[in-house]
Amino acid sequence: MGKYSGKNVVITGGGSGMGLAMAELLVADGARVVITGRSQATLDAARERLGENAVAVRGDVAVLADLDALADRVRGELGSVDALFVNAGIAALTPFGSTTEEAYDELFAVNVKGAYFTVQKLAPLLSAGPGVVLTTSIANVMGVPEASVYAAGKAALRSMARSLSRELLPRGIRVNAVSPGPIGTGVLERAMSAEAAEEFKARQAEGVPMRRFGTVEEVARAAAFLAFDATFTSTPSSALSRLNRTHGSPASACRSTPSASSSGCPAPNTTTNSSSPRWWALEGLRSAPRRR
């Protein structure tokens, strides 16, 4: 029997990157997982990799009809849900002077509206004492040049986690957020030569206290901890900046209660800090939006 045997999980944006790492971690320990994404080819590859305990559902979180269809499919496949990972998102460069209304609207539609209504549509299926984990970003507290729209959306998720945690508390639903910093997701290698990617990562690692990037597996462990193990928590705290200064690991920052000084995060691999202004390139910020 695995640690997560008998647990039912939904992961939006679960076909690649951090979402896929979450799915792999949970499936390997016995969970049954539903993953979502927009690319059928990516989902098919992830489904084959995850095995029979995974179900792949194609859909766009920015489209409420797709979320309704997802809820129906989850109800049929799983019945109830023990953990919901709200991980789907896009990233794009948005220089202030040239950002278009369309780019602004798409980033907020997917990253903010999509996250909000994912929780709303799936909340009725959450079982007793479940965990909801939103993937935000360290950009939610940093001034990020040429990424103000992305950063604002991630800050909205940080605030959303706090508000929803209080609103859903009467149902025993715990809501937290994981805030990755520079994570090696493979996007750089797909966007440039291997040599150029390694050179870029080496330069950016100089701004990280541990002099390396985090891995998707580290983010997955942090998210799983918040979803299943941090049962003493109920609402996210403002532990983020304190943890960043304390541990300085490049993996991810997680926030939970009961206090800002006692975060409940599995140290030392769950916090991040970077003084480099361009760390966020590792999350795939480019001139065109990217969906996961």
Residue 51 belongs to domain with CATH number = 3.40.50.720
Residue 26 · residue 226 · CB < 8 Å:
no
**Average pLDDT of every residue of the chain:** 81
Q: Give the number of other Cβ atoms within 10 Å of residue 71's Cβ.
A: 19
Q: Please compute the mean of the pLDDT values over residues 138-145 and round it to a whole number.
A: 85
Question: What percent of the chain clears pLDDT 90, i.e. is strictly above it?
Answer: 61
Report if residue 164 sits inside a domain.
Answer: yes
What pLDDT was estimated at residue 181?
81
Q: What's this model's pTM, rounded to 2 decimal places?
A: 0.81
Residue 267 lies in a domain: yes
Whether residue 26 lies inside any domain: the answer is: yes
- 244: DSSP letter: H
Q: Which of 20-24, 33-37, 163-167, 200-204 has the lowest mean pLDDT?
A: 200-204
What's the pLDDT tens digit per position in 204-254? 777 778 888 889 999 999 999 999 998 764 444 433 333 333 334 444 444
| Residue 160 half-sphere exposure toward CB, CA atoms < 13 A | 25
The structural domain count of the chain equals 1
Task: Examine the pLDDT at 170 and tell me if it is beyond 90.
Answer: yes
Q: How far apart are CA 261 and CA 242, in angstroms?
A: 8
Residue 93 lies in a domain: yes
Would 290 be classed as within a structural domain? Answer: no
Contact 136, 161 (CB under 8 A): yes
- Alpha helices for 168-281 (secondary structure H): 187-191, 194-205, 216-224, 240-246
In a domain, 1, yes or no: no
Does 210 fall in a domain? yes
Residues labelled as active-site residues: 150
Question: Which range marks the domain in which residue 242 is found?
Answer: 8-285
In a domain, 55, yes or no: yes
